[in-house]
């Protein structure tokens, strides 16, 4: 029981550290947000699409924006820890290293959700197409969790390399293709009003990948950071 208590306290401490650091610097979320808004603006003004066509590409545009913004966040999150020497301090702390992984991944997940919460209404206004729905929010929660779960692990590997900014996308994007496909399909279904029971296969696939990626990262994180 005491071990469990200290494990969860360590997770909470890592999350709190990242949130406080971001509140002070405003580097991570602001960078992700600026990039996301630029992508949305570019799509809006460069593609002259009819309302029906816009509705059909909404899910793809949203997820491209979220995924690329998330990559920036993951890269920056681990790079800041490395550059400031905080990563070595975390690894030397007398806590289970998987607690560090969960703390970092949950903090990254929170940052992604903050950005998503801002870009959804902005997208709705620019494209004159309401995309805010419970179903879409549910898919974003599931899809971003799986993305962050494996992304935090791979960012921990890539941060040790000189070419970390290039290496992370190369490692991450091929792995998260199933999550991206399932997220786009499920999101598109909710946006066009498809019944929930017709989307359950995509939802189950997302949930399965979340469990698989989180479990794999949990098992190998200690070995990855040890290297």
Which DSSP helix (H) or strand (E) runs through 199? none
What's the pLDDT tens digit per position in 175-200? Answer: 999 999 999 999 998 888 888 888 89
What's the whole-number mean pLDDT along residues 84-107?
Answer: 75
- Say whether pLDDT at 161 is over 80: no
Rounded to the nearest angstrom, the gap between the alpha carbon of residue 22 and the centroid of all alpha carbons in its chain is 16
* pTM value surpassing 0.85: yes
Joined tokens for residue 142: 């599931």
Give the pLDDT of residue 2.
46
pLDDT tens-place string over residues 50-78? 666 666 788 888 898 999 888 888 888 77
Asked if 127 contacts 44 with a C-beta cutoff of 8 angstroms, the reply is yes
Domain ranges of the chain: 2-226
Could you write out the DSSP letters of every residue in 91-114?
HHSSS-HHHHHHHHHHHHHHHHHH
């Amino acid at each position: 029981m005491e071990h469990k208590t200290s494990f969860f306290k360590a997770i909470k401490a890592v999350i709190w550290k990242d949130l406080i650091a971001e509140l002070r610097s405003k580097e991570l979320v602001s960078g992700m947000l600026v990039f996301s808004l630029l992508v949305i603006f570019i799509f809006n003004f460069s593609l002259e699409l009819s309302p029906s066509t816009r509705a059909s590409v909404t899910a793809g545009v949203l997820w491209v924006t979220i995924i690329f913004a998330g990559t920036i966040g993951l890269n920056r999150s681990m790079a800041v820890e490395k550059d400031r020497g905080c990563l070595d301090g975390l690894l030397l702390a007398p806590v289970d290293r998987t607690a560090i992984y969960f703390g970092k991944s949950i903090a990254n997940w929170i940052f992604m959700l903050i950005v998503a919460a801002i870009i959804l209404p902005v997208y709705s206004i620019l494209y004159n197409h309401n995309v805010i729905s419970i179903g879409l929010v549910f898919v974003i929660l599931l899809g971003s969790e799986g993305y962050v779960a494996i992304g935090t692990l791979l960012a921990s590997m890539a941060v040790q390399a000189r070419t970390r900014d290039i290496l992370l996308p190369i490692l991450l994007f091929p792995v998260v293709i199933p999550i991206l496909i399932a997220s786009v399909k499920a999101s598109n279904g909710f946006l066009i009003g498809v019944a929930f029971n017709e989307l359950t296969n995509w939802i189950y696939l997302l949930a399965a990948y979340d469990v698989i990626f989180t479990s794999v990262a949990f098992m190998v994180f200690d070995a990855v950071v040890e290297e």
